[in-house]
């Protein structure tokens, strides 16, 4: 599961998807029981216990504020996702949280694995209701979720 780059609140908290209005943890709660009501470390344990890795395409980049649209593309330094994949040969699917994550993944990484672009869980992507996002996430991740009953 790849995001783009942590936002200001996530950096402050040192937690992925730390902004309470971000729907990521709500969706993970619906899909695998890793909801925002749990302590952060327990949410992470539920993800990894279910075979889900969580990371960002960008290791670093200059971005005033937290919007992906504000990322200075020339400043992007990607994470070593290919190295991660080489160390995890059972990796079967790359899921990108939003269009920017998917675009940057294709530009900097593009592993020979299936990749799915999921609707962004960011509150900046408010045009789609949370339930609709959940339905799309559930459908896209069904092959992985079926192998890890929660």
Catalytic annotation, residues: 22
Q: How far is Cα 97 from Cα 137, in angstroms, rounded to an integer?
A: 9
Residue carrying the six token digits 């979720």: 145
Q: How far is Cα 56 from Cα 59, in angstroms, rounded to an integer?
A: 7
> What six digits make up the tokens of 105?
């993944």
Q: How far is Cα 98 from Cα 84, in angstroms, rounded to an integer?
A: 21
Q: How far is Cα 118 from Cα 141, in angstroms, rounded to an integer?
A: 9
Q: How far is Cα 60 from Cα 43, in angstroms, rounded to an integer?
A: 24
Q: How far is Cα 25 from Cα 115, in angstroms, rounded to an integer?
A: 21
């Amino acid at each position: 599961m790849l995001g783009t780059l942590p936002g200001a609140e996530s950096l402050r908290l040192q937690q992925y998807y730390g902004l309470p209005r971000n729907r990521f943890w709500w969706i993970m709660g619906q899909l695998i029981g890793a909801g925002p009501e749990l302590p952060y470390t327990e949410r992470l344990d539920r993800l990894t216990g279910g075979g889900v890795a969580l990371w960002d395409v960008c290791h670093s980049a200059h971005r005033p504020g937290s919007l992906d649209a504000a990322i200075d593309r020339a400043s992007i330094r990607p994470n070593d996702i290919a190295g991660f994949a080489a160390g995890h040969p059972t990796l079967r699917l790359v899921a990108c949280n939003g269009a920017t994550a998917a675009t940057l993944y294709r530009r900097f990484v593009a592993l020979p694995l299936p990749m799915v672009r999921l609707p962004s869980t960011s509150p900046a992507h408010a045009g789609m209701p949370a339930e609709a996002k959940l339905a799309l996430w559930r459908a896209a991740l069904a092959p992985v979720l079926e192998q890890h009953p929660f």
